[in-house]
Amino acid sequence: MRGPVLFFSLILIACTGPSVEEGDACDRHVVPYPDLIGQQERTSLNGGYLDAMAHYTAADYATARDGLINYLSRKGADKSAYMYLACCYLEL
């Protein structure tokens, strides 16, 4: 009985050690969600959304965040913009 317990204890200890990879885990693993909005036809309702998504696609997440916040403050805004806003915060 001691053999398996010791074996699994050693595996657990080995798996919880410091990572060999450098940098922040978010930098290594988080990939921005693809822009699925940018190909929509521009209207008076979604112009701000499309402008913000152009910044998002260019990896200018601070400007995209500000544009998405502005867009979401309007009545009738597409709620999917919240997902892209969250992605901006992850990238900042």
pLDDT digits (tens, 9 = 90+) for 50-85: 999 999 999 999 999 999 999 999 999 999 999 999
- How far from 71 is each of 20, 25, 33, 47, 51, CA to CA, in Å? 42, 31, 19, 9, 10
The answer to the question of residue 48 being in a domain is: yes
The answer to the question of residue 15 being in a domain is: no
The answer to the question of residue 47 being in a domain is: yes
What pLDDT score was predicted for residue 37? Answer: 87
Number of domains in the chain: 1
Range(s) of the domain holding residue 31: 22-91
Q: How far apart are CA 12 and CA 38, in angstroms?
A: 46
The answer to the question of residue 9 being in a domain is: no
Q: pTM score > 0.95 for this model? A: no
The answer to the question of residue 8 being in a domain is: no
The answer to the question of residue 33 being in a domain is: yes
The answer to the question of residue 13 being in a domain is: no
Question: What pLDDT band is residue 2 in, cutting at 50, 70 and 90?
Answer: low
Tell me whether residue 16 is exposed, middle or buried, using C-beta atoms within 10 angstroms of its C-beta: 0 to 12, 13 to 18, 19 or more: exposed
